[in-house]
Structure 1
Amino acid sequence: MNGTTRFTPMVDSGPLRPLALLIAAFDVAVGWALVAEIVVMVAVVAIQVALRYLFNSSINWADELARLCFVWSIFTAIPLGLKGGAHIGIEMLVVRFPAHLRSATARLVALLGAAMLLLVAWESAVMAWDQWDELMASMPASAAWFIVPLAVCGVHGALHLIWQAITGAQHVNPELQAELS
């Protein structure tokens, strides 16, 4: 994305402060969850490899837990990518628009993206609810835990896109996020 189509950060004051605080709190929580997911995944895989090759033994649930952490880490990281503009955008046409039309188009696309993510969140929540009684093959936990991160990603990503649609800013003020850390 080149500098002409990037959003500029906006100070989070006034009536949008509660939304900015909500998004910043979500970002901090997801950031810490992402660290925990990756630590658990790496630790479980390392222990599993050591047990297999050093002791000719293994943990039954290690692969499933590592896969669950991987799925969660991917879907919890997506909204953080949206926040920083690290998503794919096709700009062949939009870069030829005047500045005010580029801004309006970016806001409309953000709003449509938010609506789609909310639909994904809703449908994922429905699917998780329907599958909650199905257990994983090697762990006494619901298989729906593989679907829940889609709902989390949908809501969190939609909040970022709603922020972009309303303010034209790509993310909330970094100082506000630092207050919550």
Structure 2
Amino acid sequence: MSRLLPPNLQQHQGRLRPMALTLHTLDTLAGWLIVALLGAMVAVVSLQVVLRYGLNSSIGFADELARLTFVWSIFLGIPLGIRIGSHIGIELLTARLPDVVQDALLRAMALAAAAMMVLVAWQSALMALDQWDELMISMDASAGWFLVAVGVGCAHSALHLIWIALTGKPKNTETAATE
């Protein structure tokens, strides 16, 4: 089983191993969901273009479904970027600090960001529940599904930020691949 885990998760054999396995499982699931969602989005939009311009017809729900799959893809992808440290950061000042101070600041900021992500996830869940009876214009589905995507993405992001607060700076794909 441990051979299936990436190198940065294989090293965690102690109390962090369950969290490492949970994150790995969530990341794998998110990756496959993103592939499926983007595939569905491309298929629906392509079919819509062919029908509209080729046959002078259209799919009534194509735009809304494409927007929903896009939103879900984005919010499922954010935690995957956090995992490898690929989000934009301004390091003009922190890069000049000693490594110990950089690490402490990184962990503190990750913890603060995790708290904010939990707050956003909680509020998006409340908002989704509040508008769950509101239907999308062209689909017989709740408009709350857009907010569920925000909550799921933020909760997953919070877990990665907690992981960074506990273990330190994430390794990007180029660094992790060479180790």
CA RMSD of aligned residues (A): 1.3
2:21 is aligned to 21
The match for 1:152 is: 152
Q: In structure 2, what is the Cα distance between the partners aligned to 1:123 and 1:168?
A: 28
Contact 1:163–1:169 (8 Å) recurs in 2: no
Q: Which amino acid aligns with 1:124?
A: S
The answer for unaligned runs of 5 or more in structure 1 is 1-8, 172-181
Checking the alignment, whether the CA contact within 8 Å between 2:106 and 2:169 is kept in structure 1 is no
TM-score, structure 1 normalization: 0.88
Once the two structures are superposed, the pairs formed by residues 1-181 of structure 1 within 5 Å of their partners are 9=8, 11-170=11-170
Q: Which runs of 4+ in 1 moved over 2 A?
A: none
Look up the SS of the partner of 1:147 in the other structure: helix
What percentage of aligned pairs have identical amino acids? 56
Aligned equivalents of 1:142, 1:98: Cα separation in 2? 50
Give the distance between the partners of 1:20 and 1:14, measured in 2 at CA.
10
CA apart distance, 1:169: 4.5
Specify the alignment match of 1:177 in structure 2.
Answer: none
Give 2:134's aligned amino acid.
E
Count of residues paired in the alignment: 164
- Taking structure 2 as the reference length, what is the TM-score of the superposition? 0.89
Q: Decide whether aligned partners of structure 1 residues 169 and 99 sit closer, same or farther in structure 2, where only a CA change above 3 A counts.
A: closer
Q: Structure 2: how far apart are the matches of 1:92 and 1:30? A: 32
Q: Deviations over 1:28-82 (max 9, x none)?
A: 1100100011000000000000001111000110110001011111111111011
1: CA distance between counterparts of 2:123 and 2:132? 14
Q: Which residue identity is paired with 2:95?
A: V
